Amino acid sequence: MLIWRGAEWRFASAQARTAFEMAPERLAPAFGGYCAYAASRGYLAPTIPEAWTVHDGRLYLNASLRARELWLQDIPGNIAKGMANWPAILG
């Protein structure tokens, strides 16, 4: 177990933990683990484990499989919109 940015992280192996410790910003989910599609629309939403995508080596989570479908329609555009909204939507 490891605490990073106030969250508890658990790993399947010591190797996975070491990799995370070396590059947590790259390996942690984008948008703080909130729904990437929601972030692209300017709000926060929780995520489910089944709705994820890795794009350009970065993990993006979504609130539902439907949100993931919408996310996949324009990943680069949705990332750009999400980044424009982030972190102001944290409130």
**DSSP of 37-50, one letter per residue?**
HHHHTT------TT
pTM for this model (two decimals) = 0.86
pLDDT in tens, 52-77: 999 998 999 999 999 999 999 999 99
Whether residue 31 contacts residue 60, with contact meaning beta carbons closer than 8 Å, is answered with yes
Query: Count of alpha carbons within 13 Å of 40, Cβ hemisphere only?
Result: 22
pLDDT in tens, 29-39: 999 999 999 99
